[in-house]
């Protein structure tokens, strides 16, 4: 057959796969390494330039929430329109309590009515809720449609938008239903952060402090030196913060993309944070506030075991207090029922089929993952933070 005739077609393959001997075990193999840009921008024109590079000539669907649509939607969609795109857009209610399976089903139903194909692109445009749920919907629809994250909150830019760990919540546990699917790219425009209040900025800063504790003394110094500027939404300080977070999380994920071992250090604070959010109805506490409290509980466990010095514990507590994050139960935005909290932690332990698993800091950049924490140790650490549970 002529080369010219073959060249007219999209793909030409030729195989001669040998058959195994009868009864020989056949081994399935699959390996995939994803690489994607994590860009930090400072203006909508720069963001659109990056986004257009990632979209190419694909059709676009945008998933956002109602708050972001009101604040930034017209500008983004107008920019895409000027570039010749006619994106299809859906908005969801804002807030963690709307990151649910029924809401995800509504998004999937909506996608069936669009012109989107498997080679097109979904843009998740919002905070951690939209990024988590929208990315998971993209990974499910037609067995996977490429998606690009445009996080608009500090939590989204320093954490949720990076890594492709996607989920929705369930009344039993936070992020119980989900999977792993890397985005085509992440674009964090720090100009979007100027609309956030200080509480939202503090919540995002908690996830940054977490990364500093588990992986980077340099990042800790950056936060200590610029905490006030970050909370004042200074663009230069925010850009440095977001850029550093992206570098740290990307490195940790590259070592362990599917959270089999070392990536679990990114869960520092979360073994308590997720149950806290569950028992407060995914509404009263911001995720970063729950993470900050969870880090304090785990840090106190580490100190009680002799792993973390009193001096380093004081530094950790000092920075959290300095930026206004909760370090004790009476500083949380909702009262915590200790019995319900322990029950929620126990449910997660049973779901994971093992013991309590906590990330315990030793020094800045050094941690251990402990799966032998006893109920007594947990109760003592909670009590030290103001949550008393009958033993």
Looking at residue 2, its pLDDT comes to: 61
Cβ neighbours around 42 below 10 Å, total? 15
- 326 and 285 in contact (C-beta within 8 Å)? no
- Treating both helix axes as pointing N-terminal to C-terminal, what angle do 235-255 and 217-231 enclose, rounded to 10 degrees? 150
Tokens of 13: 């393959």
Looking at residue 143, its pLDDT comes to: 95
CA distance 188 to 223: 18
Tokens of 199: 């509480």
Looking at residue 173, its pLDDT comes to: 87
Looking at residue 165, its pLDDT comes to: 93
Looking at residue 347, its pLDDT comes to: 86
Question: For residue 304, which phi and psi values (nearest 5 degrees)?
Answer: -65, -30
CA distance 49 to 161: 19
Looking at residue 30, its pLDDT comes to: 76
The one-digit pLDDT tens for each residue of the chain (391 residues) are 566 665 666 566 788 888 889 999 998 887 777 899 999 999 999 999 999 999 999 999 999 999 999 999 999 999 999 999 999 999 999 999 999 999 999 999 999 999 999 999 999 999 999 999 999 999 999 999 999 999 999 999 999 999 999 999 998 889 999 999 999 999 999 999 999 999 999 999 999 999 999 999 999 999 999 999 999 999 999 999 999 999 999 999 998 887 776 568 999 999 999 999 999 999 899 999 999 999 999 999 999 999 999 999 999 999 999 999 999 999 999 999 999 999 999 888 777 666 678 999 999 999 999 988 999 999 999 999 999 887 6
pTM: 0.91
Looking at residue 255, its pLDDT comes to: 87
Looking at residue 325, its pLDDT comes to: 98
Tokens of 78: 């107008």
CA distance 318 to 309: 14
């Amino acid at each position: 057959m002529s080369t010219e005739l073959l060249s007219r077609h999209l793909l030409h393959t030729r195989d001669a796969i040998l058959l195994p001997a009868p009864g020989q075990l056949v081994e399935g193999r699959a390996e995939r390494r994803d690489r994607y840009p994590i860009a930090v921008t400072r203006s909508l024109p720069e963001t659109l330039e990056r986004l257009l590079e990632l979209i190419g000539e694909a059709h676009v669907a945008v998933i956002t929430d109602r708050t972001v649509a009101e604040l930034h939607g017209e500008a983004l969609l107008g920019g895409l329109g000027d570039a010749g795109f006619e994106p299809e857009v859906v908005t969801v209610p804002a807030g963690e309590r709307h990151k649910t399976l029924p809401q995800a089903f509504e998004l999937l139903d909506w996608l069936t009515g669009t012109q989107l194909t498997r080679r097109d692109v979904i843009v998740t445009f919002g905070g951690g809720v939209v990024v988590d749920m929208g990315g998971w919907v993209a990974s499910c629809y037609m067995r996977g449609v490429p998606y690009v994250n445009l996080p608009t909150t500090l939590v989204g830019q320093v954490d949720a938008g990076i890594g492709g760990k996607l989920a929705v919540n369930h009344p039993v546990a936070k992020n119980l239903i989900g999977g792993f699917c890397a985005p085509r790219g992440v674009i964090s425009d720090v100009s979007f952060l100027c609309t956030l209040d200080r509480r939202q900025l503090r919540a995002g800063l908690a996830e940054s402090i977490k990364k500093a504790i588990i992986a980077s003394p340099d990042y800790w110094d950056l936060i200590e030196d610029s905490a006030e500027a970050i909370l004042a939404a200074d663009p230069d300080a925010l850009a440095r913060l977001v850029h550093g977070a992206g570098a740290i999380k990307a490195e940790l994920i590259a070592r362990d993309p599917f959270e089999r071992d070392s990536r679990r250090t990114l869960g520092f604070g979360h073994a308590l944070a997720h149950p806290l959010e569950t028992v407060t109805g995914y509404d009263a506490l911001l995720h970063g506030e729950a993470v900050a409290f969870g880090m304090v509980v785990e840090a106190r466990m580490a100190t009680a075991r002799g792993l973390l010095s009193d001096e380093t514990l004081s530094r950790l507590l000092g920075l959290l207090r300095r930026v206004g994050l909760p370090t004790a139960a009476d500083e949380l935005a909702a009262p915590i029922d200790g019995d319900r909290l322990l029950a929620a932690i126990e449910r997660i332990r049973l779901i994971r089929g093992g013991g309590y698993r906590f990330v315990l800091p030793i020094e800045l950049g050094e941690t251990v993952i402990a799966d032998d924490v006893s109920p007594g140790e947990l109760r003592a650490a909670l009590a030290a933070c103001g949550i008393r549970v009958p033993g």
